[in-house]
Amino acid sequence: MSFAEISSIGEFGLIERIRRAAPSAASLRVGIGDDCAAQAPVPAELLLTTTDMLIEEVHFRRAWTDLHRLGRKSVSVNISDIAAMGGAPKTLFLALGLPSAMTVAEVDEFAAGFLEAAAEYGAVLAGGDTCRSPGPLLICVTAQGAVPEMQLVSRAGAREGEAVYVSGTLGDSALALRMLQKGQTPCAAIAGRHHDPRARTELGRALAEGGIASAMIDVSDGLLADLGHILKASGVGALLDEESLPLSSSFREAFVADPEVLQLALSGGEDYELLFCTPPHKEGEIAALSAALSLPLTRIGEIRPPSEGFSLRHRDGSSRPVGSKGFSHFNAG
Amino acid sequence: MSFAEISSIGEFGLIERIRRAAPSAASLRVGIGDDCAAQAPVPAELLLTTTDMLIEEVHFRRAWTDLHRLGRKSVSVNISDIAAMGGAPKTLFLALGLPSAMTVAEVDEFAAGFLEAAAEYGAVLAGGDTCRSPGPLLICVTAQGAVPEMQLVSRAGAREGEAVYVSGTLGDSALALRMLQKGQTPCAAIAGRHHDPRARTELGRALAEGGIASAMIDVSDGLLADLGHILKASGVGALLDEESLPLSSSFREAFVADPEVLQLALSGGEDYELLFCTPPHKEGEIAALSAALSLPLTRIGEIRPPSEGFSLRHRDGSSRPVGSKGFSHFNAG
């Protein structure tokens, strides 16, 4: 570990350092260190591309996370978008804006987390950009993946009468964030969901390959907002059942102490679970998949005619229409 | 034009606004507004990908440029990397971090410049990310292009005895920047080279298609640094001829007044011209290409054995070894 300032090795030294740490891949004709990465296309597979910016003090605080987990998270949140289309991740591009006080050891720590997570997902770092930032640490990751042409799952395929499912549990990440904002210390399980979320790549591929999901999205803006995106793209309505939301034991404890916490499972965001729709006759396959992946897959509602809009059935049996309740930059939600 | 604050339309309103302004493309299976863009691969063509971050106060100042030209520049500097591999640009991804004071009209102005330049290069906006920035305006663009498999031009193909060529003129962009930093007003021609550079896509394709360039790079860090990148990747040396550097008439005027200005042509950066190597028997084709494109292509040196290193022949006939003289983030060069 070197604690020298980045200026001692310079921009090209830094790129060379990351290049040496990154494994190469046979699919890359040209990798890190040229004007572009060059890759041979995969025949009969669609190229998937997504990009996300993570900005210090907006998306993360360095007081709350270490750089290794931040590196991991910046990979996972991007690859989650690949999973949500049914794809397998292939390549990553990393643009970094580094504050002048950041050390080489800190960049190494971030890069180690980034490369560790990339390897877990079977993706390789293929290029990027490094520059100095006048203030916040800036991270912009672009992920590329592939999906067989007939297996692509968009947001637009949901049909009336289908069931709505979500993987894992909801609200844990938002609960951790709320506790941190209040100066409390979330337990490791909850904190891990916020600082080191896992993209559901195996599930996404299985749902696509088996023709199980008709429409899919990852829960990044919050359940209500993200289901809203599917409904809008598909031109349908939905009835969501509050009672059936999958909640972790830590989340249930917090919910018992303060019922308002339930809003975090509905609108908190950053769950990175997969939310998908499926025809009723596929529900047996979903149970088998859940067992095979040791991952809860929970039916939380159904797709309704567009005329019925989007509503939420409460625990007391009453229903109310859903507004825009997810996380959005620039407004209160 | 709306002068409403961005918060009044929200993140999804902003994305929808940009989506409506962006043309669609037949090659895009899924465009803006899903988790990923999805594209069918081009058979027998390599996928080229490059990403660049532009940070306010590091890469640009809003006092010196308008947002329309900034939108254009953020496209061109990325596509320049595609051109430098011999590729044709296809798709763009735009991640924006927007300061809270920025208005919808300002985002529209940026997006109009971005989409105008994209259309000129034959590229489409296929996705992105928008979020708020706690301070500077942040722009991260990822560009994808394609090049026929046998036509890829990397930095690594330069061979002893080849000629070194550069397109256009050198130093204009850096001269404009230096004048702005001194509070002077550069003439329109010089200012345009800095604020609205043009990626040399037609030239890059022609050099690749004709098998003319053996190695190529775009001049973004400065002539000496970028030729240094080619030499390192190719394992060769070079002798560069200072007398032959192509200089614009505006640049020559400044050079007559202050001979120190020549450093800007050698090390200034942001020229976005193509620097390439070519075997001697191709020089006739280069002259024809220059005439066809109405673009100066100037022989500025030759590739030498690795043992001779990298040196610069001055106007008085003397030669000196070249150090690291281009632009690098984090150090003085």
Tell me, what CATH number does B205's domain have? 3.90.650.10
pLDDT at B6: 77
How far, in Å, CA of A252 to CA of A246, rounded?
Answer: 10
A87 vs B36: CB contact, 8 Å cut-off?
Answer: yes
How far, in Å, CA of A59 to CA of B132, rounded?
Answer: 10
pLDDT at B249: 96
Which domain range does residue B99 map to? 10-151
CATH number at residue B54: 3.30.1330.10
Taking 50 as the threshold, does the pLDDT of residue A136 lie above it? yes
How far, in Å, CA of B86 to CA of B25, rounded?
Answer: 22
Residue A233 belongs to some domain of the structure: yes
Taking 60 as the threshold, does the pLDDT of residue B324 lie above it? no
Q: How many residues does chain A have?
A: 333
Buried b vs exposed e over A208-228: b needs ≥16 C-beta within 10 Å?
A: bebebbbbbbbbbbbbbbbbb
Mind telling me how many Å the CA of A154 is from chain B's nearest CA?
A: 7
Taking 60 as the threshold, does the pLDDT of residue A225 lie above it? yes
ipTM for the predicted complex? 0.93
A329 band by pLDDT with thresholds 50, 70 and 90: low
Q: Using CB atoms, pick whichever of B94, B134, B217 lies closest to residue A55.
A: B134
Q: Count the domains in chain A.
A: 2
Mean pLDDT of B55-65: 93
pLDDT at B3: 45
- Higher per-residue pLDDT: B42 or B242: B242
Last residue of a domain, one of A150, A173, A189: A150
B174 and B221 Cβ atoms separated by less than 8 Å: no
Residue of B5, B82, B142 for testing the chain A interface, max A β-carbons within 10 Å: B142
- Higher per-residue pLDDT: B326 or B89: B89
Q: Using CB atoms, pick whichever of B46, B82, B142 lies closest to residue A51.
A: B142
Work out the angle at residue A9's Cα, subtended by the Cα atoms of residues B217 and B82, and round it to the nearest 5 degrees.
20
The answer for B113, left when phi > 0, alpha when psi is -120 to 50, beta otherwise, is alpha
Q: Please name the helix (run of DSSP H) or strand (run of DSSP E) that holds residue A280, with its range, or none.
A: none
What pTM was computed for the model? 0.94
Cα dist from B145 to A143, B52, B83, B86, B122, whole Å: 15, 15, 9, 10, 10
Residue A332 belongs to some domain of the structure: no
pLDDT at B332: 39
A58 vs B131: CB contact, 8 Å cut-off?
Answer: yes
B12 band by pLDDT with thresholds 50, 70 and 90: confident
Last residue of a domain, one of B151, B177, B206: B151
Mind telling me how many Å the CA of A233 is from chain B's nearest CA?
A: 9
* A111 and A181 both lie in a single domain: no
pLDDT at B266: 96
A293 and A204 Cβ atoms separated by less than 8 Å: no
Quick: pLDDT tens for A296-328. Answer: 999 999 999 999 999 999 988 899 998 755 555
How far, in Å, CA of A221 to CA of A226, rounded?
Answer: 6
* A141 and A177 both lie in a single domain: no
Quick: pLDDT tens for B158-187. Answer: 999 999 999 999 999 999 999 999 999 999
Mean pLDDT of A199-203: 98
* A103 and A175 both lie in a single domain: no
Residue B187 belongs to some domain of the structure: yes
Contacts of B11 in chain A (CB under 8 A): 328-331
Taking 70 as the threshold, does the pLDDT of residue B333 lie above it? no
User: Residue B110 has which token pair?
Assistant: 């940026």
B37 band by pLDDT with thresholds 50, 70 and 90: very high
B114 and B75 Cβ atoms separated by less than 8 Å: yes
A330 band by pLDDT with thresholds 50, 70 and 90: low
Last residue of a domain, one of B91, B117, B151: B151
The residue of chain A nearest to residue B98, with distances taken between CA atoms, is: A330
Please name which of A315, A203, A312, A300 lies closest in space to residue A255, comparing C-alpha atoms. A315
How far, in Å, CA of A244 to CA of B133, rounded?
Answer: 37
Residue B250 belongs to some domain of the structure: yes
pLDDT at A328: 59
Mean pLDDT of B290-316: 96
Quick: pLDDT tens for A85-108. Answer: 999 999 999 999 999 889 999 999
Residue of B5, B45, B49, B93 for testing the chain A interface, max A β-carbons within 10 Å: B49
Residue A277 belongs to some domain of the structure: yes
* B85 and B232 both lie in a single domain: no
Contacts of A331 in chain B (CB under 8 A): 7-8, 10-11
Q: Using CB atoms, pick whichever of A40, A48, A324 lies closest to residue B36.
A: A48
Q: Using CB atoms, pick whichever of A29, A50, A145 lies closest to residue B152.
A: A29
Residue A206 belongs to some domain of the structure: yes
- List, in sequence order, every beta strand (DSSP E) within B149-256: 163-167, 215-218, 237-241
pLDDT at B14: 83
B46 vs A41: CB contact, 8 Å cut-off?
Answer: yes
* A22 and A141 both lie in a single domain: yes
The Cβ-side half-sphere exposure at A43, using a 13 Å CA radius, reads 2
The residue of chain B nearest to residue A148, with distances taken between CA atoms, is: B40
* B221 and B294 both lie in a single domain: yes
* A131 and A233 both lie in a single domain: no
Please name which of A156, A202, A18 lies closest in space to residue A96, comparing C-alpha atoms. A18
pLDDT at A2: 43
B39 vs A57: CB contact, 8 Å cut-off?
Answer: no
Mind telling me how many Å the CA of B208 is from chain A's nearest CA?
A: 14
Contacts of A233 in chain B (CB under 8 A): 33-34
Residue A157 belongs to some domain of the structure: no
Mind telling me how many Å the CA of A54 is from chain B's nearest CA?
A: 9
* B214 and B261 both lie in a single domain: yes
Contacts of A50 in chain B (CB under 8 A): 35-37, 93, 127
Mind telling me how many Å the CA of B199 is from chain A's nearest CA?
A: 13
Quick: pLDDT tens for B103-150. Answer: 999 999 999 999 999 999 999 999 999 999 999 999 999 999 999 999
* A188 and A146 both lie in a single domain: no
Mode of pairing for the β-strands spanning A274-278 and A215-218: antiparallel
* B199 and B143 both lie in a single domain: no
Mean pLDDT of A268-288: 96
User: How large a percentage of chain A has pLDDT more than 90?
Assistant: 83
Q: Please name the helix (run of DSSP H) or strand (run of DSSP E) that holds residue A14, with its range, or none.
A: helix A10-21
Taking 90 as the threshold, does the pLDDT of residue A331 lie above it? no
Mind telling me how many Å the CA of A210 is from chain B's nearest CA?
A: 20
Residue B29 burial class via C-beta count within 10 angstroms: exposed 0-12, middle 13-18, buried 19 and up: middle
User: How large a percentage of chain B has pLDDT more than 90?
Assistant: 83
Residue B303 belongs to some domain of the structure: yes
A134 vs B217: CB contact, 8 Å cut-off?
Answer: no
* B279 and B173 both lie in a single domain: yes
Cα dist from B106 to B4, B30, B53, whole Å: 10, 27, 19
- Give me chain A's average pLDDT, please: 92
* A188 and A313 both lie in a single domain: yes
How far, in Å, CA of A140 to CA of A8, rounded?
Answer: 24
A332 band by pLDDT with thresholds 50, 70 and 90: very low
Quick: pLDDT tens for A20-46. Answer: 888 888 789 999 989 999 999 888 899
